[in-house]
Amino acid sequence: MGSLMENLDAFALNPTLKPLLTLVKGARNGAVYGAKVRFPHALVMIFLFRSGTFREKLQLVLSATKQHARNLAYFAMIYKGSMLALKYLNPAGRKEGQYDSFLAGLLGGYVVFGRNHNGVSQQIVIYVFARVVLALAKLSIQPNMHPLSGFISPEARTKITERAWPAFASLSWAFVMYLFRWHPDAIVESLRNSMTYIYSDSDHWTSFETLLIRNKDSE
């Protein structure tokens, strides 16, 4: 057994295999992280808000968990594989180019998420998009980031940084509540259902039981 583990360690630590093994480790970590993130979320949301038998709900939880884990695993493999390919194709001599990560992310995003427009993929992309917007907002006021950077004083930069999150949070909720009130069909179904439960169903009850104990008589 000791000899087997020594051989496996030697295989894992072989420097010539490292580029390929990074794909394996990336896929492994993507799958594990996706499962850890999705399983508890799906467990709570599906068992609280979906109708059906226990078995049907459990199948939905496992399906969502599998989809999330598979998406992140595939994306990690495509991204890291593309980075390796671009590095070896670089005329400068096996060096990472400035925009390699952008191109690798573009390919992975299209193959894994762009061609699979389902609920899980959409939630992941929207989460990433929100983080990108916040990151770009932070970068936009940093020195030497664009031609207008020199016109932003340190004092103004500090004030913008302090007020960016309150503005982002307030406007996000302002727009989503407006859309829910006047254009609910434009909102993704999962969000629309949760907002209906909180903001619309709370306007109606037929007894003390449906006021505080249950949402509706049919539950």
> Based on the number of CB atoms within 10 Å of its own CB, is 92 exposed (0-12), middle (13-18) or buried (19 or more)?
exposed
Read off the amino acid at residue 48.
L
Kindly indicate the confidence band of residue 93, based on its pLDDT and cuts at 50, 70 and 90. Answer: confident
Contact 65/39 with Cβ under 8 angstroms?
A: yes
In whole angstroms, what is the distance from residue 46 CA to residue 120 CA?
13
**Residues whose CB falls within 8 Å of the CB of residue 59, separated by 6 or more in sequence, listed in order:** none
In whole angstroms, what is the distance from residue 58 CA to residue 152 CA?
53
The predicted structure's pLDDT at residue 107? 97
152-197: per-residue pLDDT in tens? 888 888 888 888 889 989 999 999 999 999 999 999 887 898 899 8
Contact 79/120 with Cβ under 8 angstroms?
A: no
pTM: 0.81
Q: What tokens appear for 139 in the block?
A: 């970068």
Q: With the C-alpha atoms ordered 170, 125, 41, 137, is the resulting torsion angle positive or negative?
A: negative
194 against 86, higher pLDDT: 86
Q: With the C-alpha atoms ordered 40, 176, 130, 120, is the resulting torsion angle positive or negative?
A: positive
2-39: per-residue pLDDT in tens? 788 888 899 899 999 998 999 999 999 999 999 999 99
